[in-house]
Amino acid sequence: MLDLTVPATARTFSGALVMPNLKTPITTIDAALRYKEQIEAKSGQESFTPYMTLFFKSTYTRDFLAEAKRHVLAVKLYPEGVTTGSGGGVKSPLDRDCMTVYAAMEELGIPLCVHGETPAGFVLEREVLFAPVYDELARAFPKLKIVMEHITTKKLAVFLDRHENVFATVTLHHLLITLDDVIGDALSPHNFCKPVAKTPADREALRELALAGHPKLMFGSDSAPHTRDAKESCCGAAGIFHAPIALQMLAGFFEKGGRIDKMQGFVSDNAARIYGIEPREKSVVLEKKGGLKGGLIVPESYGNVVPFRSGEALEWSVKEIR
Amino acid sequence: MLDLTVPATARTFSGALVMPNLKTPITTIDAALRYKEQIEAKSGQESFTPYMTLFFKSTYTRDFLAEAKRHVLAVKLYPEGVTTGSGGGVKSPLDRDCMTVYAAMEELGIPLCVHGETPAGFVLEREVLFAPVYDELARAFPKLKIVMEHITTKKLAVFLDRHENVFATVTLHHLLITLDDVIGDALSPHNFCKPVAKTPADREALRELALAGHPKLMFGSDSAPHTRDAKESCCGAAGIFHAPIALQMLAGFFEKGGRIDKMQGFVSDNAARIYGIEPREKSVVLEKKGGLKGGLIVPESYGNVVPFRSGEALEWSVKEIR
Q: For residue B233, is pLDDT > 80?
A: no
| B181 in reach of chain A (CB within 8 A) | no
Q: How close A192 gets to chain B, by Cα (Å)?
A: 8
Chain A residue with CA closest to B238: the answer is: A186
Q: What is B2-282's CATH superfamily?
A: Metal-dependent hydrolases (3.20.20.140)
Q: What angle, 0 to 180 degrees and rounded to 10, lies between the N-to-C axes of helices B2-12 and B29-43? A: 70
Contact A190 B234 (CB under 8 A): yes
pTM equals 0.86
Look at phi and psi of residue A177 and say left if phi exceeds 0, alpha if psi is from -120 to 50, else beta. Answer: beta
> Which residues of chain B does A200 touch, with a Cβ-Cβ cutoff of 8 Å?
122
What's residue A302's pLDDT? 84
Q: What is the mean pLDDT of residues A70-94?
A: 92
Q: pLDDT (tens digit, 9 = 90+) per residue, A89-131?
A: 999 999 999 999 999 999 999 999 999 999 889 999 999 999 9
Give all strands (DSSP E) within chain B, no chain letters. Answer: 15-18, 49-55, 74-77, 112-114, 146-148, 166-170, 217-219, 284-288, 316-321
Q: For residue A236, is pLDDT > 70?
A: no
CB–CB of B122/B140 below 8 Å? no
CB–CB of A283/A322 below 8 Å? yes
* CA separation for the pair B70, B52 (Å, rounded): 10
* Nearest partner of A79 among A95, A64, A65, A66, judged by Cα: A95
Fold type of domain A2-283: TIM Barrel (3.20.20)
Q: For residue A238, is pLDDT > 80?
A: no
Kindly report which listed range (A3-12, A138-147, B59-68, B167-176) carries the lowest average pLDDT score. A3-12
* CA separation for the pair A243, A220 (Å, rounded): 11
Contact B123 A183 (CB under 8 A): yes
Quote the DSSP letter at residue B217. E
Contact A180 B123 (CB under 8 A): yes
Contact B122 A179 (CB under 8 A): yes
Share of chain A above pLDDT 70, in %: 96
Q: What is the mean pLDDT of residues B23-45?
A: 94
First to last CA, chain A: 26
Confidence of residue A46 (pLDDT cuts 50, 70, 90): low
* Nearest partner of A236 among B224, B190, B306, judged by Cα: B190
| B178 in reach of chain A (CB within 8 A) | yes
Residue of A118, A123, A126, A177 to mutate, interface with B, max B Cβ within 10 Å: A123
Average pLDDT along chain A: 91
Contact A186 B236 (CB under 8 A): yes
Please tell me whether the interface predicted TM-score (ipTM) of this complex is above 0.85: no
What's residue A133's pLDDT? 98
Contact B189 A192 (CB under 8 A): no
Confidence of residue B187 (pLDDT cuts 50, 70, 90): confident
Q: For residue B263, is pLDDT > 60?
A: yes
| B119 in reach of chain A (CB within 8 A) | no
Q: pLDDT (tens digit, 9 = 90+) per residue, B171-180?
A: 999 999 999 9
Contact B179 A235 (CB under 8 A): no
CB–CB of A291/A309 below 8 Å? no
Q: How close A247 gets to chain B, by Cα (Å)?
A: 27
Q: For residue A134, is pLDDT > 90?
A: yes
> Which residues of chain A does B180 touch, with a Cβ-Cβ cutoff of 8 Å?
122-123
* CA separation for the pair B254, B309 (Å, rounded): 17
| B231 in reach of chain A (CB within 8 A) | yes
Residue of B127, B129, B235 to mutate, interface with A, max A Cβ within 10 Å: B235
CB–CB of A149/A217 below 8 Å? no
Q: State the pairing for strand pair B15-18/A316-321.
A: unpaired
> Which residues of chain B does A233 touch, with a Cβ-Cβ cutoff of 8 Å?
232-233
Number of Cβ within 10 Å of residue B95's Cβ equals 11
> Which residues of chain B does A238 touch, with a Cβ-Cβ cutoff of 8 Å?
186-187
Q: What is the mean pLDDT of residues B81-103?
A: 92
Q: For residue B227, is pLDDT > 90?
A: no
Residue of B80, B83, B84, B123 to mutate, interface with A, max A Cβ within 10 Å: B123
* CA separation for the pair B137, B166 (Å, rounded): 9
Q: What angle do CA B6, B7, B10 make, to 5 degrees?
A: 80
What's residue B235's pLDDT? 64
* Residues B298-313: b if buried by 16+ CB within 10 A, e if exposed: beeebeebbbbbbeeb
Whether A222 is catalytic: yes
Q: Which of A3, A222, A229, A261 is catalytic?
A: A222
| A304 in reach of chain B (CB within 8 A) | no
Kindly report which listed range (A141-150, A281-290, B43-52, B292-301) carries the lowest average pLDDT score. B292-301
Q: Distance between alpha carbon B243 and the CA centroid of its chain, in Å?
A: 11
Share of chain A above pLDDT 90, in %: 63
Phi and psi at residue B229, to the nearest 5°: -65, -45
Confidence of residue B271 (pLDDT cuts 50, 70, 90): confident
